[in-house]
Chain A
Amino acid sequence: KQEVTQIPAALSVPEGENLVLNCSFTDSAIYNLQWFRQDPGKGLTSLLLIQSSQREQTSGRLNASLDKSSGRSTLYIAASQPGDSATYLCAVSGAGSYQLTFGKGTKLSVIP
């Protein structure tokens, strides 16, 4: 059974800092990996999707990497802003399955 772990569970940084969020998964036979953002009481917003054959994806100040063999992904946020404060969730889909397995998320607070 696939398990996804996100470390740290919470992170507080001053505005302007670069930061890295970590995601690990137990079964490397994944089809893709997605990073989402969730604001309190809201739904999920997709940030980046990495196919299993890819190593990284970039969107604006966000960069996500994938090392499938070691079961790890990182989300790099450059020049953090208070508006980046949210919970960031990592999810993987297995080959042949339509379901995403999520981690519990990292709650990010960016202090002005």
Chain B
Amino acid sequence: DTGVSQNPRHKITKRGQNVTFRCDPISEHNRLYWYRQTLGQGPEFLTYFQNEAQLEKSRLLSDRFSAERPKGSFSTLEIQRTEQGDSAMYLCASSTRTSGAVNTGELFFGEGSRLTVL
């Protein structure tokens, strides 16, 4: 068990460029979450997958953001036409599913991908 892995750890880009982040969850976990965290704030929920299905999206996830989880394994978060306000730490988390229950699993977070938009 190597934990949740996120790549790249740091990304610096110019405004208007597209960026993509990858998250590899813990292997037996079927739930995967994306959060965004800015300096001095707690993480904010972006979206949630159970297996390959995207079940919940925050209103924070504008049309420029898209997330996928093909085959229910790794996930990607793409930001198109980046803006300076997109600069943040993007955190991925995964958890196990307990039969018949909602969100009872402990969340395990990765180290995050820090985005800086110039």
List chain A positions with a Cβ less than 8 A from chain B. 4, 31-32, 34, 36, 41-46, 49, 51, 89, 91, 93, 95-105
Number of interface residues of B (CB under 8 A): 29
B70 to chain A, nearest CB (A): 20
Contact A99 B56 (CB under 8 A): yes
A41 to B111, CA, bound (A): 8
The answer on a CB contact under 8 Å between A102 and B42 is yes
Near A by CB (< 8 A), chain B positions 1-41 give: 4, 6, 31, 33, 35, 40-41
Q: Which residues of B contact A (CB under 8 A)?
A: 4, 6, 31, 33, 35, 40-45, 48, 50, 55-56, 58, 91, 93, 102-104, 106-112, 114
Assembled-state Cα–Cα distance A51/B104 (Å): 8
A34-B42 CB under 8 A given contacts A43-B111, A98-B31, A98-B48? no
* Max chain A Cβ within 10 angstroms of own Cβ: one of B35, B42, B104: B42
A104 touches which one: B42, B58, B109, B112 (CB < 8 A)? Answer: B42
The A-B contact count (CB < 8 A) is 68
CB pair A43–B56 under 8 Å, yes or no, is: no
Determine whether the beta carbon of B41 is less than 8 Å from that of A104: yes
Would you list 7 pairs from A and B whose C-beta atoms are within 8 A, ordered by A residue? A31-B103, A31-B104, A34-B106, A36-B109, A43-B111, A98-B33, A100-B43
Give the chain A neighbours of B45 by CB distance below 8 A.
99-101
A101-B45, A102-B42, A104-B40 as given contacts; A32 in contact with B104, CB under 8 Å: yes
